[in-house]
Amino acid sequence: MNDQVLEVRDLEYEYVTGKGRFRAIDHLSFSVREGEFVSIVGPSGSGKSTLLKTIAGLLRVTAGEIRVSGQVLTGQIPPQVAVVFQDYSRSLFPWMTVQENVEFPLKGKKFGRKEAAERSLESLVAVGLGDALKKYPWQLSGGMQQRVAIARAIAYRPTLLLMDEPFASVDAQTRADLEDLVLSIHQKYGTTILFITHDIDESIYLADRVLVLSQPPARLKADLKVDLPRPRHQIQTKQMPEFIRLRAEVSGMILQPGLAR
Ligand code: ADP
Ligand code: MG
Q: How many beta carbons lie within 10 A of that of residue 243, not counting itself?
A: 19
Kindly report the backbone phi and psi dihedral angles of residue 213, in degrees, each rounded to the nearest multiple of 5, phi listed first: -95, 150
- Count how many residues are written for the chain: 261
Q: Measured between alpha carbons, how far is residue 6 from residues 74, 93, 112, 152 in Å?
A: 14, 30, 29, 21
For residue 213, give the ligand 1 atom closest to its CA.
3
pLDDT at 255: 81
pLDDT at 257: 56
Furthest C-alpha separation in the chain: 56
pLDDT at 261: 44
pLDDT at 121: 95
Distance CA 21, CA 24 (A): 9
Q: Whose CA is nearest to atom 21 of ligand 1?
A: 15
Q: Measured in angstroms, how far is the CA atom of residue 165 from the centroid of ligand 2?
A: 7
Name the strands in the sheet holding 4-17, side by side, starting at the edge strand that comes first in the sequence: 20-33, 4-17, 63-68, 71-72
DSSP-derived letter for residue 97 is -
Q: Whose CA is nearest to atom 13 of ligand 1?
A: 45
Q: Taking a C-beta distance cutoff of 8 angstroms, is the pair 155, 102 a contact?
A: yes
Choice from 11, 15, 21, 219 to test ligand 1 binding pocket (greatest atom count within 8 A of CB): 15
Question: For every one of its 261 residues, what pLDDT tens digit does the chain have, with 9 covering 90 and above?
Answer: 579 999 999 999 999 999 999 999 999 999 999 999 999 999 888 999 999 999 999 999 999 999 999 999 887 778 889 999 988 778 899 999 999 999 988 877 778 888 889 999 999 999 999 999 999 999 999 999 999 999 999 998 899 999 999 999 899 999 999 999 999 999 999 999 999 999 999 999 999 999 999 888 888 999 999 999 999 999 999 999 999 999 999 999 988 655 444
